[in-house]
A and B are shown apart, each in its own frame.
Chain A
Amino acid sequence: MSGAFRIPSAGRLKQAKTAGFSFDGRSYTGIEGDTLASALLANGVHLVGRSFKYHRPRGFLSAGVEEPNALVQIVRDDARKTPNVRATVQELYDGLAANSQNRWPSLAFDVGAVNDIASPMFSAGFYYKTFMWPKAAWKSLYEPRIREAAGLGVSPDKPDPDHYSSRYAHCDVLVLGGGAAGIAAALAAAETGVLVILADEQAEFGGSLRFESGAKIDGQDGFGWAQAAIAKLSAMDNVRVLSRTTAFGYYAQNFVGLVERVSDHLKAPGHDLPRERLWQVRAKRVVLASGAIERHMVFADNDRPGIMLAGAARTFLNHYGVAVGRNVGVYTANDSAYAAAIDLKKAGVNVAAIVDLRDHPTGPVIDEARALGIEVNFGRAVIRAGGKLRVSSMTVQPKNGGGERTIPVDAILMSAGWTPSVHLFSQSRGKVAFNDETKRFVPGTYAQDCVSVGACNGTDGLSASVDEAYAAGAKAAKDAGAKIAKGTKPKVDASESWSRGMLGAAPGAGPDKTVKAFVDFQNDVTAKDIRQAVHEGMRSIEHVKRFTTNGMATDQGKTSNMHGLAIAAETLGKPIPEVGLTTFRAPYTPVTFGAIVSHARGPLFDPTRKTAIHPWAAAQGAVFEDVGQWKRAWYFPKGGEDMHAAVDRECVAVRTKAGLFDASTLGKIEVVGPDAAKFMELLYTNPWEKLEPGRCRYGIMLREDGFIYDDGVVGRLTPDRFHVTTTTGGAPRVMNHMEDYLQTEFPHLNVWLTSITEQWAVIAVQGPKSRDIIAPLVEGIDMSDEGLPHMSVREGKICGVPTRLFRMSFTGERGFEVNVPADYGRAVWEALWAEGQKHGAVAYGTEAMHVLRAEKGYIIVGQDTDGTVTPNDAGLDWAVGKKKTDFVGIRGMARPDLVAKGRKQLVGLKTKDPKVVLEEGAQIVENPQQAIPMKMIGHVTSSYWSENCGRSIALALVAGGRDRMGDTLYVPMPNGVIEVEVTGMVFFDETGGRLNG
């Protein structure tokens, strides 16, 4: 039922539990517990994809995460179309739908396969050489075509409807890898009582015990022992067992990133389940038990569907009960492939021949293979595979040349040996060491508190691995603070053991041949490509890697790196360690953006800050703009007004009657203490010691380099208490700047700094009627011009609640800023609004505020200044205390370039045509007739239509600007040159009489 290649007597799946699925629209039946790969193989499907560059037909190489070929698109619904899923990892669920990738119009007939015939054009580094000319073809022809061809699979085009979660965790011992070694280490650590986390990327624990039919531990078969041990560990309070969980990154100080796939294997995941969960674990000790990955043999056409790793074929048989063929050949350079041949033979599959590169191997597996009647050939090589969409034969030749013999097969199982998975060790910044005898890189010098055990440490044999792991687990627990150990070490009764193998190209794929013997399947890199890279001058393995892209695909060279390195070393005539291994980087396997981002998306991406008055403004139909994290009312359209109409109306109303403005977002800092005035003297350019309590001053803050950093009005409430305001966006950095100087440069000053931005709501009431609106609501403050002159502050009550009432103006009109505790902000606003209605007041937003201040030439730090503007440049010399001997920026301001002539200075600009509004950022030139590129002498910083002036107005930074008053300058724009006149910065009420108007 579940496939013609299913062998009911083999494997561990329950035959009765079937699951229907489809691949490229065709329906199949598998069994619960299958991967998509095992279910397809059970149905005899080997052809599952096309390769990246040459579009060659591809099948399954492996049974695990190292899979380079079998990448498919899993389609759950319109929004859930996940590309590049390894079919060997995707667990089957009833109704699963998968499609092949990188083919058109169909998998069996792919037009792109013409690349295979034209492959001499696409040799290593071809894209560095081919698309150089003609230059114009890059944009119109090459880039669009390359973009179309590049990448694998198709990205989903709708927002991800799934949700993801994340957790932080701390433990004493983190064990990564749940094979025999990892389980033994976890048992040893867990028995001491310390906190243990054990994680494995697969659905079931056991690692290579899934296929090692010869393993027996504590009297059980290996896989059964693993399940029993996991059940025991899961029941312990001090142990967390995580399956389907990949450790993808090993960071500083034993900080490890894991991603748990929570629901990708379920038929219909409930919405209460996240799709994936990110674990960020800090462990006192880490035990790495990541195992080893089998290498393929590098021979001609070794990528034909049906050719796979011997260990994978064993997994498909011994775990899933699937025969990968009916008549298989075996090509090996070590013992482990013999076990695959033996298992398949015993399951009733014909083994056509074993071809072994070694001359005189001996050992029990060889004897057993012979005893089973399998033909064994020593000293011979498979020099090419036949077939196209599926392997049909292997051609065998003595490795030093001689007669060829072609053997019909429908699958080839290969093994060149096993590569220790040192990825996580390398990511921990440990240094690997090359063992010349076994030809493999193993952990050498450790950089963190971790230990490698088992196959990833180069330890051969189950018994030795379990012993090593158990001891390491116990030691890790002890090092993490465990007191007692009281467990018993698992006893290995029977095991399989192999090592060695070969690296690089096999005979028949040597330098004298032009065959396609693949090293990296996913990026279509052949042995020839690597040799060519060396011949073209690449010496370092890092260069060879980038030139050929070997190991740079999504599988990160798990099967290809060592072969590539060996071929490069051979071509260079250097020993392998001298050529060096490329660096392993996170992630070990691809991680979704969803898992990394987790909840931090949409409204949870960044905090949104709203003022106490926000709901009122929203109810009035205000349009809001983002200012940093704040939402600020931008303008208040009435009766279908557009932005310009609304802003014009608001601006006129403020100057003729009055306007209310929510200024709560202004940064506010209270500077308190006996030395508060001294501190202010040092942090601001202005003098403060003599400012009387109850008075305000416009302050400028510089950085040490002499450039304007922030500004704002400061009120002195009492001799030892200053109420400092900052720009909306600058509040946190000004606070940091102040704290820095107070804590580290001026720690002798007795001062406290407190952020009070969110404690006080601020309502600006501006305009000729402003006093009339406020006065009826205020108690205990003399509102006359004598009692509360411009630039002063009083404490009293408004609407019965405490207020710090500032008489100040950012509009040039008589103005007040009413500070009240934020909780009363809305109530006081509504009271003022009601009063304002009697006088025709409007609510105005940030756009009108900008226009009104520009009409008066008041600057906005960060808009009219850009971090390279001095007080003098901005025309603010008057705010610098001339008698002061120290303040932050006093020396920087005096640097030769900052006092030189010709610096850009802030000036006003009036367009000759008053109706033309300049663009902010537009460049200014002296002579528009000059050749391009023109000499630019400045740019427009602020520009608006001013209804009050009946014309456009602008501020600009212009070189030597104050010496150009009355001059005509030019602003070249795409639609023509705009003539402007240089003017002063004040466009409205130059004498300032309206401040008391």
Chain B
Amino acid sequence: MLLIRCPYCEEERPELEFRNAGEAHIARSANIAGESDDDFEKFFFIRSNPKGIIYERWRHMHGCARFFNAVRDTVTDKFVMTYKAGEPKPSKLPGAAK
């Protein structure tokens, strides 16, 4: 069972308290009704499935109930870092090569 750090509670808590909520940093258009079919397809259906670093959303369901973002390595399953919802995608990851 993974330990996940909730950026709101500022604590590592067991995986059982959390729910995955899909890929992060996929913005919903302010003018979604006017979006083309192609743009809506990209927004709603297309997801990356990387071998390695993935940016995803989690919810501290049985804790503070906040949604937040996490960087996880899909190969090792390790959480590289977590950060609050609304914060920009980190440009540099801790421990990453230069």
For residue A255, CB closer than 8 A to chain B, the reply is yes
Q: Which residue of A lies closest to B1 (CB)?
A: A255
The yes or no answer to B93 lying at the interface (CB within 8 A) is no
- B68-98 residues with Cβ-Cβ distance < 8 A to A are 76-78, 85-86
Which of A447, A743, A892, A896 has the largest number of chain B CB atoms within 10 A?
A: A743
Whether A739 contacts B35 by the Cβ 8 Å rule is: no
**A885: interface (CB < 8 Å):** yes
Produce 1/0 per residue, B54-77, CB < 8 A to A.
000101010001110000000011
Residues of chain B within 8 A (CB-CB) of A436 are none
Q: How far is the CB of A617 from chain B (nearest CB, A)?
A: 31
* Inter-chain contact B77/A739, CB cutoff 8 Å: no
Could you mark each residue 31-60 of chain B with 1 if its beta carbon is under 8 Å from any beta carbon of chain A, else 0?
Answer: 011010100100010000000000001010
Most A CB atoms within 10 A — which of B3, B32, B86?
B32
Cα A116 to Cα B47 with chains together (Å): 55
* Contact present for B33 and A890 (CB under 8 Å): yes
- Taking a contact as CB atoms under 8 Å apart, the answer to whether A743 and B85 are in contact is yes
A744 touches which of B32, B40, B57, B78 (Cβ 8 Å): B57
- CA of A252 to CA of B77 in the docked complex: distance in angstroms? 8
CA gap between A61 and B35 in the complex, in Å: 71
B3, B37, B66: the one contacting A253 at CB < 8 Å is: B3
Known: A736-B61, A745-B28, A885-B33. 14 other contacts (CB 8 A): A251-B1, A253-B3, A282-B3, A447-B76, A704-B44, A705-B44, A736-B19, A739-B59, A739-B67, A743-B85, A744-B67, A886-B32, A892-B40, A895-B37
Q: List 28 A-B contacts (CB under 8 A).
A: A252-B78, A253-B2, A253-B3, A255-B1, A280-B1, A429-B76, A447-B76, A736-B19, A736-B59, A736-B61, A740-B21, A740-B59, A740-B67, A743-B66, A743-B67, A744-B57, A744-B67, A744-B86, A745-B28, A885-B33, A886-B33, A890-B32, A891-B33, A891-B40, A892-B40, A892-B44, A895-B37, A896-B37
Residues of A with C-beta under 8 A to B59: 736, 739-740
Bound together, the chains give a CA A886 to CA B29 distance in angstroms of 10
Nearest residue (CB) in A for B36 is: A891
Q: Which residues of A contact B67 (CB under 8 A)?
A: 739-740, 743-744
Cα distance, A252 to B16, chains bound together (Å): 13
Q: Are A744 and B85 in contact (CB under 8 A)?
A: yes
Q: Given A743-B85, A747-B86, A895-B40, is A252 in contact with B2 using a C-beta cutoff of 8 Å?
A: yes
The chain B residue with its CB closest to the CB of A746 is B28
Bound complex: CA of A565 vs CA of B18, how far in Å? Answer: 42
User: Which 6 A-B residue pairings sit nearest by Cβ, starting from the closest?
Assistant: A891-B32, A743-B67, A890-B33, A253-B3, A255-B1, A252-B2
**Number of residues of chain A lying within 8 A (CB) of chain B:** 25
Q: What 0/1 readout, one digit per residue, does chain B (9-34) give for beta carbons within 8 Å of chain A?
A: 00000000001010000001000110
Chain B residue with the shortest CB-CB distance to A745: B28
**Bound-state Cα–Cα, A758 to B37, Å:** 42
Annotate A731-752 by CB proximity to B: 1 below 8 A, 0 otherwise: 0000010011001110100000
Q: What residues of chain B lie closer than 8 Å to A253, measured between beta carbons?
A: 1-3
Shortest Cβ distance from residue A598 to the other chain B in the assembled complex, whole angstroms: 15
Q: Which residue of B lies closest to A732 (CB)?
A: B61
Specify which chain A residues have a CB less than 8 angstroms from the CB of B40 in the assembled complex: 891-892, 895
Residue of B whose beta carbon sits closest to that of A168:
B14
Task: Digitize A864-908: 1 where CB-to-B-CB distance is under 8 Å, 0 elsewhere.
Answer: 000000000000000000000110001110111000000000000
Q: A693-743: which have CB < 8 Å to B?
A: 704-705, 736, 739-740, 743
Beta-carbon contact of A252 and B1 below 8 Å: yes
Complex Cα distance, B1 from A891, in Å, reads: 39
CB distance from A345 to the nearest CB of B (A): 52
Chain B residues whose CB sits within 8 angstroms of the CB of A747 once the complex forms: 85-86
**Within 8 Å CB of B2, what residues of A?**
252-253
A891 neighbours in B (Cβ, 8 Å): 32-33, 35, 40
Q: Which residues of A contact B21 (CB under 8 A)?
A: 740
Give the complex CA separation of A410 and B37 in angstroms: 81
Smallest CB-CB separation from A703: which chain B residue?
Answer: B44
A892 surroundings in chain B (CB, below 8 A): 40, 44
Q: How far is the CB of B13 from chain A (nearest CB, A)?
A: 11
- Please provide the chain A residues from 204 to 253 with a CB less than 8 Å away from any CB of chain B in the complex: 251-253
**1/0 per position for A743-779, CB-CB distance to B under 8 A?**
1110100000000000000000000000000000000
- CB contacts (< 8 Å) of A429 on chain B: these are 76
CA distance A895 to B39 in the complex (A): 12
Chain B residues, Cβ within 8 Å of A704: 28, 44
Contact of B65 among A251, A739, A745 (CB under 8 A): A739
Residue of B nearest to A892 (CB): B44
Measured CB to CB, the closest approach of chain B to A706, in angstroms, equals 10
Residue among B19, B28, B86 with the highest chain A CB neighbour number at 10 A? B28
The contact string, 1 if C-beta is below 8 Å from chain B, for chain A 241-283, is: 0000000000111010000000000000000000000001010
Distance between A664 CB and nearest chain B CB, rounded to angstroms = 24
Point out the residues of chain A lying under 8 angstroms from B61, CB to CB: 736
Bound Cα distance from A739 to B57, whole angstroms? 13
CA distance A596 to B51 in the complex (A): 32
Q: Which residue of A lies closest to B30 (CB)?
A: A886
CA gap between A902 and B2 in the complex, in Å: 48
**A residues less than 8 Å from B32 (CB atoms):** 886, 890-891
B28: nearest residue on chain A (CB-CB)?
Answer: A745
**A255 to B15, alpha carbons, bound, how many Å?**
12
By a CB distance below 8 angstroms, the chain A residues around B37 are: 895-896
Chain A residues 344-363 with CB under 8 Å of chain B are none
- Nearest neighbor of B57 in chain A, beta-carbon distance: A744
Give Cα A253 to B32, complex, Å.
41
| A703 to B12 Cα, complex, angstroms | 32
A137 smallest CB distance to B (angstroms): 43
Contacts of A282 in B (CB 8 A): 3
User: Which of chain A's residues have a CB closer than 8 A to the CB of B78?
Assistant: 252
CA gap between A429 and B78 in the complex, in Å = 12
B67 to chain A, nearest CB (A): 5
The docked-state distance in angstroms from the alpha carbon of A743 to that of B76 is 29
- Kindly provide the distance from the CB of B1 to the nearest chain A CB, expressed in whole angstroms: 5
Rounded to whole angstroms, the CA-CA distance of A886 and B32 in the bound complex is 7
Give A407 to B76 CA distance when docked, in angstroms.
Answer: 55
A896 to B38, CA, bound (A): 12
A253 and B1 CA atoms in complex are apart in Å by 7
Q: How far is the CB of A76 from chain B (nearest CB, A)?
A: 33
Residues of chain B within 8 A of A255, CB atoms compared: 1
Query: How many Å lie between the Cα of A736 and that of B61 in the bound state?
Result: 9
Q: How far is the CB of A567 from chain B (nearest CB, A)?
A: 32
State in angstroms the CA–CA spacing of A447 and B3 once bound together.
16
For residue A893, which residue of chain B has the nearest CB?
Answer: B33
The distance from the CB of A69 to the nearest CB of chain B, in whole angstroms, is 36
Closest to B3 in A: A253
The distance in angstroms between the C-alpha atoms of A255 and B77, with both chains bound, is: 14
The CA of A744 and the CA of B37, in the complex, are separated in Å by 23
B-chain residues with CB within 8 Å of residue A251 when the two chains form the complex: 1
Q: Which residues of A contact B19 (CB under 8 A)?
A: 736
Q: How far is the CA of A252 from the CA of B3 in the complex (A)?
A: 8
Assembly CA distance A709 to B32 (angstroms) = 19
A447 to B77, CA, bound (A): 11
| Cβ-closest chain A residue relative to B41 | A895
Bound complex: CA A895 to CA B40 (Å): 9
Q: In the complex, what's the smallest C-beta–C-beta distance from A417 to chain B, in angstroms?
A: 33
- Contacting residues, chain B, for A745 (C-beta < 8 A): 28
Residues of A within 8 A of B85 (CB): 743-744, 747
Least CB distance from B62 to A in Å reads: 12
Give Cα A886 to B31, complex, Å.
8
Write out the residue numbers on chain B whose beta carbons fall within 8 Å of the beta carbon of A739.
59, 65, 67
CA gap between A891 and B35 in the complex, in Å: 7
- Interchain CA distance A748-B85 in the complex, whole Å: 13
Q: What B residues does A896 contact at CB under 8 A?
A: 37
Q: Which of B19, B33, B77, B78 neighbours the largest number of chain A CB atoms within 10 Å of its CB?
A: B33
Q: Give chain B residues whose Cβ lies under 8 Å from the Cβ of A743.
A: 66-67, 85
Contacts of B44 in A (CB 8 A): 704-705, 892
Query: From B77, which residue of chain A is reached at the shortest CB distance?
Result: A252
| B3 surroundings in chain A (CB, below 8 A) | 253, 282
